[in-house]
Amino acid sequence: MTKKIVPKYKPDKITVGGIDFQIVYKTMKDYGELDFEGRKILISDEIKEEFLFDTIMHEAFHAVCAIAGLSYILEESHSELEEALVRASDNMFFPLFKEQYKEFAELFFSE
């Protein structure tokens, strides 16, 4: 019986709103950080697998807020509001999305 090879998820860039962001893996205190002006997403090189995906999506949502101009509005009204909104997505929307997409993919992409 052949062993199924599972690819490792570790992208080197993502595109958000038509803008490419390089993903840089490095030793850092936080899990991730968005450098919007530098078009980079910094990710701790300690993070692996599904948590890596979640962290990249977290930082991508910060990029969405910046591209849409929401970061400027949110920073002026309350500096922590953007992080609260991103974490709400992390904990409520992303798990729902992953669960529903898995069911969708099994129906439409399975052999």
Predicted confidence (pLDDT) per residue in 11-45, tens digit: 999 999 999 999 999 999 999 999 999 999 999 99
Q: Given a cut of 60, is residue 1 above it in pLDDT? A: no
Supply the pLDDT for residue 66.
95
Tokens of 15: 């595109």
Supply the pLDDT for residue 5.
66
- Higher pLDDT pick, 76 / 16: 16
- Alpha helices for the chain (secondary structure H): 49-67, 70-77, 81-88, 94-109
The Cα–Cα gap between 41 and 60 comes to 8
pLDDT over 90, % of the chain: 74
| CB-facing half-sphere around the CA of 88: CA atoms within 13 A | 6
Lowest-confidence pick of 19-23, 86-90, 104-108: 104-108
Q: Helix count (H) and strand count (E) of the chain? A: 4, 4
Which residue, 56, 58, 53, is CA-closest to 102?
53
Q: Given a cut of 60, is residue 2 above it in pLDDT? A: yes
Tokens of 83: 């992080």
The Cα–Cα gap between 11 and 57 comes to 12
Q: Given a cut of 80, is residue 48 above it in pLDDT? A: yes
> Taking the model in full, what pTM does it have?
0.86
